[in-house]
Every structure is written in C-alpha cells, then in structure tokens.
Structure 1
Amino acid sequence: MQRNATTRYPILLVHGLFGFERIGHFELFHDVKSALKAAGNRVFVPHLSATHDNEVRGEQLLKQIDSVLRGTHARKVNLIGHSQGALAARYAAALAPDAIASVTSVSGPNHGSELADFLRKALVPGRLPEIVAQNVATLFADFLSLLSGSVTLPQNALAALNGLTTEGVGTFNDRFPQGLPGTWGGHGAAKVNGVHYYSWSGVLPTNETDELPIGDPVRSVCLALSQYFMTEGEQNDGFVGRFSSHLGHVIRSDYPLDHLSSLRRTAGAAIRELDPIDLYVEHAARLRAANL
C-alpha cells in the first residue's frame, strides 16, 4: 500500500453513465473507495442521474460538493470522474473553481466517444427505433436508481447519448475548455483558474498474450464494441478512444485496461503487474505532493 497518500482535501468519486454508488451490498467504487480510505482519505460518492446530459449531472454534482464542504469544513474537494463522470467534474470545476482543488479524468470521453457516435447514428430521429431505445434505456436507468435508492433523480437516456457523441462533447468543450489539449493526442494545461487537471486511461490488448485475462466477460464486450471505432480503431478501451481521453496532465493513456477495468480488480487476474486500484492510491499520493 502506498504511504503518504492522504490528500489535503476530500475526494469525490464521480460515476459515469449507468453508474451508481450502491445497489444492495454492491458498491461500484468499492475497491477504489476502500483503498483510498485505507490510505487515510475522506472519500465520498455523489448520487447523480444514471442517464442524463453532462450539464444536468454537473449541476447535481455541484449541490453535493456544497454538502461535502459543509459537512467536512473543507475549503475544496478533489474530483475523480470515471467515464462521463469526468465531464460532470469538468462542468463543476468550470462553474465553481474556488471549490475544486483538482479534476482527474479516468477513462473520460473528453473529446467524445466514437461508440456513442455509432449508436446515435443507428437511431433514426422521430421513428420507432429512437423511441424504443430511449424508453428501454431510461427504464433501465430508473431500475438502477430504484435499487440504489436514488428514485428522485431525473433520467434521460437520449440526452446522455447526445452528450457523449463527438458533436455533443465538442459543444460542451466550446463552453468548458479548461484542461483540454491544444493538439490531438497532446497534454492540456495542468492548472486553470487554480484547478489542477489530470487524466489517465487504457487501451484494449491487441493479442491474447497481453495482461487482461482471457474469458473475462467484460473484456469480451469491450472487444466487441471496439470494432465500431474508426479514428482510434486499435487505441481504445471499448468505450473511449485513447487520445479522446486526454485532459490536463496526462499520466498515461495506454494502460492495459478495458473501460470498466479502470474501476475494478478483474477476477482471475492475480498474476499481473498492473493493479488498477493502485493507480488511485498512487494518484492520491500525487495530489498530496501537490498539497491538494
């Protein structure tokens, strides 16, 4: 376990699309939260809509940041957003930079997702497929919210999908460019308006000898979805392209991780050099070193 990884400010773990804090005894961020708490950190998981656009989820996050600041008497928080959670974190930092010490994007679609582009094109506006897809996805999100106890939060699956496309994130980036690279595949500003920006992400293995375990069903799904990437066809995690994830100081964007492996220890992966949970503790030590 990493020593000296206790941050100055509380950490908020922000979930992405179809995310949640807890369903029954299962916690989405269980391993990450436990490891960070073991390192001495104050850790919180906000309740956000499982499906909605980046701005709505960002407003929900701002309200819960206020609650954490009041409850802990801290001046700021560190935001670590997974997937779409990175966009909510960026929104919060843009609107309330004085309350945010850092934003860290983990597998975040900071330039949009080619998978979202494909799915959006597959839905024909105004016809049955779009209506059916939105209803099914929204009902599923409502079901997750019911199980997790967040029944009061609004859900809008189509708004979420639109907000994750290259076009949708491009519009978002025009309003909130903080930390974005000036060139494709580059680093962005490491500090904007007093907020520190970081990112890391992974790519799927290219052959069976790479580190992700064979037979992992999540990996199989991510491999199947990766075929819908064109610009970053061999440089994606199944949901987000490698360079599309870049924000601020890019710690690394080619870890051997699929999209969900950046949140969990994969079953059957006991013999492996990379522990994705250690990345969060290492990052807490990085934040501590920056007095964050």
Structure 2
Amino acid sequence: MQRSATTRYPILLVHGLFGFERIGHFELFHDVKDALKTADCRVFVPHLSATHDNEVRGKQLLTQIDSVLRGTGARKVNLIGHSQGALAARYAAALAPHAVASVTSVSGPNHGSELADFLRKALVPGRLPEVVAQNVATVFADFLSLLSGSTTLPQNALAALNALTTEGVGDFNDRFPQGLPGTWGGHGPEQVNGVRYYSWSGVLPAIGLATLDPMQGACRALSQYFMTEGEQNDGFVGRFSSHLGQVIRSDYPLDHLSSLRRSAGKVTGQFDPIDLYVEHAARLRAVNL
C-alpha cells in the first residue's frame, strides 16, 4: 500500500444518512481517517444533519468547506462522500466549483436507491405508518446528534427518505447533473467546471467467512427489495446507480457499510476496503489535487 499519498488539497470525509463524526470514543470514519493521516493527508470530517435532504446537507457542507479553507489556507478541498454524503458533495461542487478540487462518491446512490423506493411505497402518505416512521427516525437522529454534540442541526427523516428515492434523486440530478453518466452503467465526464469526479462501490460478497459480520447480514437481508439490480447491489445501493465520473470499480466485494470500515469478521488475506482510500489519495496526488 502507498505509504505517502499527501494530497495538494485537504480531504473532507462526508457522511451519509444517520452518519456522524464522533460519538464518545467511536468515530464513523476512524479506520479511513487514520489510514489517510498515516499517508500524510490532511483530513476533516464535517458535521451534517444525520437526516435531511441533499440540498440542506449540501448547504451545511458548503459552510464547513469555507471553515476548512480559512483554517488551512488552502484554495480548494477534495470531497469524499459515502452514501448520501456523495449527493451533498455533488451539491457543494455544483454551487462552488471554485472551492472543490474533486468529488468522490463511495457507494453513493447517484441515481437513487431501490431500497428507498420500497420504504417510500411502504409508508402511506399522511397516515399513521408515515408519521410513526418519521417520528422514530427523527428521534433516533436527534439522539445521535445529542451524543455527537451536534444538537443545533435540523433533522427531517421523511425529507431524507424522499431525497434518496429514484424519483427524488432524479429531480436532484436534473438540477445538478455534473459527473453523471450519459448511459446507464457507463462512466460520466471525468471533469466538469474544473472539478474532477470519481466513484467506487461494491456488491454483496459471496457467502463465506465474511458473513460473520452482522452488518453484512443486515445488508444481505435488505438486498431482497432490489428489482432492477437484484443481483448487483450492496444492500442499500445498486451497482450501476452508484456510477459517477470516472468509475474506478463498482463491484468490489463490499456491502454498503463495509465500504467505510473493516468488517468484524475480517480474516487474513481478505480484501481491505480502507486501502482504497489511500490508493485514491495517491490518485488525487498524481493529478496535483
């Protein structure tokens, strides 16, 4: 693995739905951040609403990009967004391309999530199930915010769900198409308005020792709700739905959560997803980003 991958611009790791920077001693991006720092990268994790739509979270990200630029003296930042974090990163880059050197989508639902479609249909608008689901999810998000110290950020679970459906992301893409492929399953433009776009993602690995990880078991259970990409998804996002810009690879043996952490059941010689982030930092460095 590359030992020194110092990028020209700082890296911001942008979390997705129900994400956070730190709760107590637990950091969501702990493995990724440590690996990047070991490779001599400057790394920051912005505070965004755990549940809200892409534009609200994107505006929050823009504010924190400004803070990083002021604090470091850098002219731009590299954004690496996991899951819904990719959409917030895309929004920020579309509105402030002068401040963003690159956007990298990791397991991002860039064309929507079939799981979100299923959940949206399961909730009857305006009736008890929708109200109960929104209240439970918002209370959970508020609890995460309280634990992480980000109590001032707004939460809206229903807005988040609507923003992740195929229809919701389709509307978002109409307004912010930068980096999107012109054909389903293809690559998108690698550079738009001076911003480079990249993506990588995975599909559920074959059943084996890796299934010792309970999170992978949950992703495997959720994958049954995919129709279009029934055999090609990570439990939350379909393989081709994740494509953006230069597609590094979209079939790594990774479930949705394993793309930002090492699996609990990891065995010697098993694929390590954290290496991908350091390799990508070296890739950014190679193009002077």
Distance 2:153 2:251 in 1: 35
What code does the residue aligned with 1:142 have? D
Offset, 1:267:
1.9
Q: Hey, what does 2:148 align to over in structure 1?
A: 148
Matched, 1:239 2:232: no
Q: Hey, what does 1:22 align to over in structure 2?
A: 22
Q: Hey, what does 1:208 align to over in structure 2?
A: 207
Distance 1:197 1:109 in 2: 15
Matched, 1:228 2:228: no
Contact 1:3 1:285 (8 Å CA) reproduced: no
Offset, 1:270:
2.4
Distance 1:136 1:282 in 2: 39
What code does the residue aligned with 1:244 have? S
Distance 1:133 1:214 in 2: 29
Offset, 1:271:
2.2
Offset, 1:214:
2.4
Runs of 4+ in 1 over 2 A off after TM superposition: 270-273
Distance 1:86 1:291 in 2: 22
Distance 1:188 1:110 in 2: 11
Matched, 1:187 2:163: no
Tell me which of 256, 259, 262 is aligned to 2:259: 262
Alignment deviations for residues 110-139 of structure 1 (CA, whole Å, 9 cap, x no partner)? 000000000000000010000000000000
Aligned counterparts, 1:84-233, within 5 A: 84-205=84-205, 207-209=206-208, 213-233=210-230
Matched, 1:47 2:47: yes
Distance 1:111 1:123 in 2: 21
Tell me the SS of whatever aligns to 1:65: helix
Distance 2:157 2:269 in 1: 36
% same residue: 87
Offset, 1:274:
1.6
What code does the residue aligned with 1:50 have? A
Offset, 1:187:
0.1
Tell me which of 281, 285, 289 is aligned to 1:288: 285
What code does the residue aligned with 1:115 have? L
Tell me the SS of whatever aligns to 1:34: helix
Offset, 1:3:
3.0
TM-score by length of 1: 0.98
Distance 1:51 1:241 in 2: 21
Tell me the SS of whatever aligns to 2:49: coil
Structure 2 unaligned runs (5+)?
none
Tell me the SS of whatever aligns to 2:260: coil
Matched, 1:249 2:221: no
Answer with 258-267 or 244-253: which moved more: 258-267
Contact 1:4 1:288 (8 Å CA) reproduced: no
Distance 1:109 1:82 in 2: 9
Structure 1 unaligned runs (5+)?
none
Q: Hey, what does 1:275 align to over in structure 2?
A: 272
What code does the residue aligned with 1:7 have? T
Tell me the SS of whatever aligns to 1:40: coil
Alignment deviations for residues 2-34 of structure 1 (CA, whole Å, 9 cap, x no partner)? 134110000000000000000000000000000
Distance 1:279 1:35 in 2: 10
Distance 2:211 2:157 in 1: 32
Tell me the SS of whatever aligns to 1:262: helix
Contact 1:180 1:247 (8 Å CA) reproduced: yes
Alignment deviations for residues 175-210 of structure 1 (CA, whole Å, 9 cap, x no partner)? 0000000000000000000000000000002x424x
Tell me the SS of whatever aligns to 1:47: coil
Answer with 189-198 or 262-271: which moved more: 262-271
Aligned counterparts, 1:68-83, within 5 A: 68-83=68-83
Tell me the SS of whatever aligns to 2:212: coil
